[in-house]
Amino acid sequence: MIPARYSRALFSLIMSGLMSCMVTGIATFKAIGLSPTAIGDWMASWIFSWPIAFTVILVFGPAVQRLVNRLVRPQD
């Protein structure tokens, strides 16, 4: 089991992987359609974008969470 102190990094890793996979897949298929190279192009885009997405979520996640906390009203 992974120690709780790594939960933010683990969340960022999983969320960035899922989101970058979906977004690059949609963008790749929209740009080139279902071609013989589509899956390879998608995976190449995903591998390139995942570290960027991970870094963005890890760096900006706390600020976004603070903004969300200021924008929502606590439940009764």
Distance CA 33, CA 27 (A): 9
Mean model confidence pLDDT for the chain: 95
52: CB partners within 8 A, 6+ apart: 20
DSSP state of 72: S
Average pLDDT on 40-68 reads 96
- Whether 16 shows a pLDDT value over 90: the answer reads yes
* pTM, to two decimals: 0.84
Distances in Å between the Cα of 26 and the Cα atoms of 1, 30, 52, 55 are 34, 6, 18, 21
Q: Which residue has the higher pLDDT, 74 or 59?
A: 59
Confidence of residue 76 (pLDDT cuts 50, 70, 90): confident
